[in-house]
Amino acid sequence: MYQYIVKRLLLAVPTLLGAAALVFILMRLIPGDVCVIRLGSGGAHVDPASVNACRESLGLNDPLIIQFFDFIWNYATFNFGNSMWSGHPVVHEIGQRLPVSLQIAVMATVIAILLAIPLGTISALKENTWLDHFVRMFAIAGIATPSFWLGIMSLVLVLDITYLATGKAWMPPITYVSFWEDPIRNLSIVILPAITVGYRYSAVTMRLTRSAMLEVMREDYIRTARSKGLMEQLIVNRHALKNALLPVVTLIGIEFAFLIGGLVVTEQVFNLNGIGKLFVLAVQNQDNVLTQALVMLVVTIFVVTNLVVDLLYAWLDPRIRFS
Amino acid sequence: MSFRTGVWAAGLGLAAAIAAAPAGAQTPKKGGTLTYMISADASPSFDGHRETTFATVHAVAPYYSVLIRVPPDNPASTTEFVCDLCTAMPTPTDGGKTYTFKIREGVKWHDGSPLTAKDVAASWNKIVFPPQGVTSARISYYSMVEKIEAPDDTTVVFRLKKPSAAFLPALADPFTWIYKKEILDKDPKWYEKNIMGSGPFKFVSYQIGQSIKGVRNPDYYHKGQPYLDAIEGIFAAKQSVRVDAIRGDRAAIEFRGMPPSARDELVKEAGKEIVVQDSDWNCGNIITANQKKKPFDDVRVRRALALAIDHWRGAPALSKIAIVRSVGGIVFPGSPLAATKEELQQMAGYWPDIEKSRAEARRLLKEAGAEGLKFELTNRNVDQPYKFVGTWLIGEWKKIGLEVEQKVVPTGPWFQAMRTASFDVVVDANCQSVVNPALDTGKYLPQSVYPESYGGYEDPKSVELYNKMLDATDPKAQRAAMREYEKHTLDTMAHAIVTPYWYRIVPHRSYVKGWKISASHYLNQDLANIWLDK
């Protein structure tokens, strides 16, 4: 098992290198210049000499090949550089924002699991009943509803309900504090975005749980279990659900990894200072250093999550062995 | 003076004072925290000398002093300047070439050390003559400055190469924060990542992309100010977040400006709890045709583009949905050098009879062999007001048979298109701080003279008229010279089309008092005047 983990981690190196090369090339293909944007985005006059001085200080006047090898060498030596836009170390920039995205991703995942697995299972077990139809409608609505709309609507709803109830509109605080600093304030900030994201997430997971359960429930070993006279609850929990969860776990893993960098819209709607917002900002500003670091972070999260998911397979299905 | 005369004088003085006092003027209350929204994701750096964005001013200006500024109680004035760190506005000597400023004594840096004229001179030298490798974004404003000296701890002297009416307005630029000489000497880039000034508030903390916090400076030199105990600026690029924050009273104000729809929404929802301040904005869009491309090298085609536009009906209609309102020429409307309505109506695009104007446009196109011309209008991917203005223009041009496609691109490629002249016609922008027509109008010059002008033309006559306007020191002569320059640029050569000036709308919580709107979102942002009535 340890050998397998080490092998997988070593295989991550070429994956990371490939991603690094790709993002390096793509960022240079986008027209625009971080210095022009930084100095001139306010609309005021920008002196070309100032733009050139800025480019020089950021190493943008160096040949591309030199820039690329600098970038690879810096990563190999764990020097992730400073943001071209703000000048702050990217580790610091990402470090400030990662807890926000991580917390929402974790909370959304918990909400999704709590909703999706029981509802998906019930839906499969009660196939074609009103309950099944209701759960499926709930899931389709979750997939079809854009999260930005749901986010804005939930905020408007909170504002309107509190206004009608108390005469004073209330909205969640718009600056993040950590859970350890102020748990109530923290939860009042993250609960709406977590529900917004968690609902869509649960809808996708719910549909997969349902179809996986339907498939498993028609398997021979379930029929055998039933013929042995086992209790239905035992059959579902011990034999069916565990097997049906294999594809669901894969989906949860991918979705979780995606959420870390993919909460762009939700973070904008709720003014959360997370990784998704930073990603958009970095690309918009042509901040190559920060964009590269963020891509590498997301790739790393995907690699690690996939590894964790693969290891979970063995726990869920003892027949699976890694070597 | 007899007793009787004295009583009369005192009575008249009192009456005058009462008459002069604004209706409903209140005594400022001390205390409280102002939470305000900054409509950006983050400030690129803390260094005002380097940056040009309002995101830097709105976040960092409260921590710094400047030498002179627009009057905080009347920031809408386009001609008045007052001292901040100096003791009195100087009268120029040496035929208008020398300005001597006396610096306040007893001013302290936030670290407790004394601020002297040496700090002021060092800061201005960094702005006007930046050392190698240091970026100064406004260096071109100060081309008339020859030397800046501090002969002693309370005197700063600016020596100019020639007298210039543009000097004082340029000196009042709100980005020209005064830094500590000792720090600049050690590291001229220190202020990019750190804040240490002498302004009304002391810096407390900054969370990148989230918020910046400060507390009252008890040693502030404007007695009694600031009124607030603390300030917190919250970054939020998304408009709905900012509107909801003010609606839910999570924030009291956003200083840049909101579109009419947001104002109406807030007023409808919060009624008397919202106060709206509005003003013409020293920002505008300039429509520039690429004269390196055919047929835009033909003045008849460019004039036709201008003649097709109905400013007088378009501006009020657009103002209902976009942040634009006033029709103007090259100069900020209402300022002393601006064209009157009658003067504007003499130029292409401003004719009072739009049918006659469009008939002339069609005639010119036919004469130039450009009937039914198809081209691309490159625009910035910013809703307000860029895309609204672009869409309006396309409708106007359609009325003379032109077929125009709007190409909307992000900020980077937008700049790239202009700099590499890879556009047909572009929606450019001209956004300034202090109204300073002599410098604000440079964007209409050939690119070889003014690098941020993208029309791709050479026009010695334009440069000659501009210099004539710049050199004029008598206001009447300068106004006449400006008319010549404007007529040549917008009418004779049709180098550019000026779309309606932006209109700044700032809805805020009614408990925010003391802040007054100005012609620019860069001005009057040290927040020292603000107090909370709650």
Q: Residue B503: beta bridge partners?
A: B280
pLDDT in tens, B518-528: 999 999 999 99
Res. B7 pLDDT band, cuts 50 70 90: very low
Count of C-beta atoms within a 10 Å radius of residue B154: 16
* E strand map for A21-144: none
Contact predicate B127/B176, CB 8 Å: yes
Q: Which of residues 175-204 of B touch A (CB under 8 A)?
A: 192-193
CA–CA distance, B38 with B58 (Å, rounded to integer): 7
pLDDT in tens, A235-247: 888 888 888 888 8
- Contact A44/B at CB under 8 A: yes
pLDDT for B104-136, tens place per residue?
999 999 999 999 999 999 999 999 999 887 888
Question: What is d(CA B85, CA B64) in angstroms, rounded to the nearest whole number?
Answer: 10
Contact B42 A277 (CB under 8 A): no
Candidates A168, A270, A277; nearest CB to B41: A277
Provide mean pLDDT across the span B259-284: 92
pLDDT (tens digit per residue) in B78-106: 889 999 999 999 999 999 999 999 999 99
| Phi (first) and psi of residue B374, to 5 degrees | -115, 135
Predicted local confidence at residue A28, as pLDDT: 83
**pLDDT(B360) > 90:** yes
Q: What are phi and psi of B510, to 5 degrees?
A: -65, -15
pLDDT recorded at residue A42 = 61
Residue A255 CA to residue A251 CA, distance in Å, equals 6
The mean pLDDT value for B477-487 works out to 95
Q: How confident is the model at residue B63 (pLDDT cuts 50, 70, 90)?
A: very high
Distance CA A179, CA A26 (A): 38
CB pair distance less than 8 Å for A37 and B412: yes
Label residue A58 by pLDDT band (50, 70, 90): confident
Does A46 sit within 8 Å of B452, measured CB to CB?
A: yes
Query: Which runs of consecutive H residues, i.e. helices, occur in B272-410?
Result: 299-307, 311-318, 341-344, 354-367, 388-398
DSSP H/E element including A4:
helix A2-29
Joined together, the tokens standing for residue B485 give 């320059």
pLDDT at A41: 64
Separation of first and last alpha carbons in chain A = 6
Q: Is A73 on the interface with B (CB under 8 A)?
A: no
Phi, psi of B298 (to 5 degrees): -95, 120
Confidence of residue B8 (pLDDT cuts 50, 70, 90): very low
The reported pLDDT for the residue numbered A179 is 92
In Å, what is the CA distance from B441 to each residue of B101, B265, B279, B309? 28, 36, 20, 21
pTM: 0.85
For residue B228, give the nearest of B462, B33, B21, B426 by alpha carbon.
Answer: B33
CA dist., res. A199 & res. A205, Å (int): 10
Contacts of A159 in chain B (CB under 8 A): 244, 247-248
What is the residue-averaged pLDDT of chain B? 91
Are residues B339 and B441 in contact, defined by beta-carbon separation less than 8 angstroms? no
Which residues are bridge partners to B276 per DSSP? Answer: B507
Cα nearest neighbour of B430 on chain A? A43
Give residues with Cβ within 8 angstroms of A14, minimum separation 6. Answer: none
Q: How confident is the model at residue A323 (pLDDT cuts 50, 70, 90)?
A: low
In what helix (H) or strand (E) does residue B222 lie, and over which residues does it extend?
none
pLDDT of B24 reads 52
pLDDT at B453: 87
Residues in B touching A271 (Cβ below 8 Å): 234, 236, 238, 241, 245
Spell out the residues 6+ positions from residue B279 whose beta carbon is closer than 8 angstroms to its own. Answer: B76, B503, B504, B517, B518, B519
Mean pLDDT of B418-432: 91
What kind and span of H or E run contains B233?
Answer: strand B230-235
Report whether pLDDT(B463) > 90.
Answer: yes
Residue B68 · residue B124 · CB < 8 Å: no
pLDDT in tens, A123-138: 999 989 999 999 999 9
pLDDT of A144 above 70: yes
Residues of B in contact with A87 (CB under 8 A): 45, 192-193
List of chain A residues whose C-beta atoms are within 8 Å of the C-beta of residue B51: 38-39, 42
| Residue with tokens 């699976």, as numbered in its chain | A320
Residue of B nearest to A168 (CA): B248
List of residues 6+ apart from A133 with CB closer than 8 A: none
Residues of B in contact with A33 (CB under 8 A): 412, 415-416
Residue A46: pLDDT above 50?
yes
DSSP string, B297-310: TSHHHHHHHHHT--
Instruction: Write the CB contacts of B415 (distance below 8 Å, at least 6 apart in sequence).
Output: A32, A33, A36, A37, A40
- Degrees, nearest 5: CA angle B323-B329-B334: 75
User: What secondary structure does DSSP assign to B383-448, as a single string?
Assistant: IIIIIHHHHHHHHHHHTTT-EEEEEEE-HHHHHHHHHTT--SEEEEEEE-SS--HHHHGGGGS-TT
Q: How far apart are CA A54 and CA A56, in angstroms?
A: 5
Q: Does B134 touch chain A (CB under 8 A)?
A: yes
Identify the CA nearest to B158 among candidates B142, B145, B171: B145
Indicate the residue type of B301. V
- Mean per-residue pLDDT, B192-212: 94
CA distance A33 to A85: 11
| Cβ–Cβ below 8 Å for A270 and B53 | no
pLDDT surpassing 50 at residue B5: no
Nearest to B254 by CA among B4, B488, B36: B36
Q: B120 vs A299, which has greater pLDDT?
A: B120
Residue range A292-307: average pLDDT? 88
Contact criterion met (CB below 8 Å) for B365 and B298: no
Joined together, the tokens standing for residue A310 give 């693969």
Give the integer Cα–Cα distance in Å for B4 and A12.
96
Per-residue pLDDT tens digits for B361-416: 999 999 999 999 999 999 998 888 999 999 999 999 999 999 999 999 887 788 88
Identify which of B50, B51, B208 has the shortest CB distance to residue A96.
B208
Average pLDDT over residues B224-229: 97
Q: Does A96 touch chain B (CB under 8 A)?
A: yes
- Inter-chain residue contact B250 with A171, CB threshold 8 Å: yes
What is residue B317's three-state secondary structure? Answer: helix
Find which of A45, A101, A270 to mutate to test the B interface (most B CBs within 10 Å of its CB): A45
Closest chain A residue to B127 measured between Cα atoms? A50
Phi and psi at residue B151, to the nearest 5°: -65, -25
B-chain residues near A44 (CB < 8 A): 52, 137-138, 431-433
Whether pLDDT at B6 is above 70: no
Name residues 452-481 of chain B within 8 A of A (Cβ): 452
Report strand pairing: B374-380 vs B425-431.
parallel
Structure tokens at A286: 């042509």
Written as one letter, the residue type at A228 is: K
**Model confidence pLDDT, tens digit, residues B130-167:** 988 788 888 888 989 999 999 999 999 999 999 988 89
- List chain A residues with CB under 8 Å of B447: none
Total H helices, total E strands in chain A:
14, 0
**Crossing angle of helices A242-262 and A90-125, rounded to 10°:** 150
pLDDT at B4: 44
* pLDDT on residue A45: 60
> What is d(CA A92, CA B208) in angstroms, rounded to the nearest whole number?
9
User: What's the mean pLDDT in A19-43?
Assistant: 80
Count the neighbouring beta carbons within 10 Å of the beta carbon of residue B205: 9
Q: What does pLDDT average to over chain A?
A: 87
pLDDT band at A30 (very low <50, low <70, confident <90, very high): confident
**CA angle (A113, A115, A121) in 5-degree steps:** 90
Mean pLDDT comparison of A66-70, A110-114, A273-277, highest-scoring range? A110-114
Which of A41, A54, A98, A168 to mutate to probe the B interface, most B CBs <10 Å?
A: A41
Task: Report the number of secondary-structure helices (H) and strands (E) in chain B.
Answer: 17, 19
A161 touches chain B (CB under 8 A): no
Place of tokens 């891509």: A295
